[in-house]
Amino acid sequence: MANSTKQETPLTLEVFTAGIWKENPVFVMMLGLCPVLAVTNSVENSLAMGLASVFVLVCSNALISALRNFIPKQVRITTYIIIIATFVTLVDYIIQAISLDLYNKLGAFIQLIVVNCLILGRAEAYASKNSFAKSVISALGMGLGFTLALVMLGGVRELLGVGQLMGYQIFSTNFQPWIIMILPPGGFIVLGSWLLLINYIEQRRTGKLIAEDLASHCSVNNH
C-alpha cells in the first residue's frame, strides 16, 4: 500500500537554512554525536566525514522521496536502510580511491553512517512525507549544518591540540600543544564550549527580541 501524503508547506529559503542554524543537527538537535566526537580531531577528518554525510543524506533522501508512494508502509524502515547502505558503500569506495590514508583515519565511522540517527531520522520524518525538491533542499541544508558543526569542532581541536590547521602551522614553535584536545575528552570539552557559546548568543537574541516587542507594545498603548 502506498504511503499517504499530506498537503505540504511551500518550498522556501527557510527549508534550506533551518538545518544550518535553527535546527542544526549537532548544536540544536544533538544528533550523530558518535562521529562528531570521534573524528573531529582535525579539520581534514571533519570535512571528509561531513561531506560524506552530505552525499549520503542528499542521495538517500532524494531516492526515498521519489519512491515514497511506492514503498509499502510495513517495510519502509528496512527499505530506507537498504537505500542508505547503498550510498554509504559507494562513498566508502570513493574515499578509498581518493585517499587511503584519509580512509584509515576515519576508520569504521564511514560505514557507521548507515546507523547515523540523522540520516535515518531525516528519511523517516521528512523525505518520506515531502516532495523530491523539498527533501533534497532540506537534506542539503542539514548536511551542510552537520559539516559546519564538525569543522567548528575539528578546527578548535586541531588548532589547540597541535597548533595547526589543515597541516599549516598557525602558532610558533614555542607553542605548547594541548594534547587533551586531540584525545576523546577534548571532543566533549570543545562541544560543551560551543554549546555554551551558542546558547548564550541565542538567549541574548531572544531577550533582545522580547525587549523590542515590549517596547513596541508600550509605544502603541501610549498613543
CB atoms within 10 A of CB 23: 17
The x, y and z cell numbers of residue 38, run together, are 570521534
Parallel, antiparallel, or unpaired: how do β-strands 164-165 and 168-169 relate?
antiparallel
pLDDT in 10s for each residue of the chain, 223 residues = 344 444 556 777 888 888 898 889 999 888 888 888 889 999 999 999 999 999 999 999 999 999 999 999 899 999 999 999 999 999 999 999 999 999 998 888 888 888 888 898 888 889 989 899 999 999 999 999 999 999 999 999 999 999 888 878 888 878 889 999 999 899 999 999 999 999 998 888 888 878 777 777 666 666 5
pLDDT at 190: 94
Residue with cell 527580541: 209
pLDDT at 219: 64
pLDDT at 32: 83
Among 36, 28, 25, 45, residue whose Cα is nearest residue 119? 25
The x, y and z cell numbers of residue 92, run together, are 566508502
DSSP assignment letter at 21: T
Residues in a beta bridge with 168: 165
19 three-class SS: coil
Residue with cell 549537532: 26
pLDDT at 4: 43
Cβ burial of 218 (10 Å; 0-12, 13-18, 19+) is exposed
Among 133, 81, 139, 74, residue whose Cα is nearest residue 111? 81
Cβ burial of 187 (10 Å; 0-12, 13-18, 19+) is buried
Which segments of 28-179 are extended strands (E)?
Answer: 164-165, 168-169
pTM as predicted? 0.86
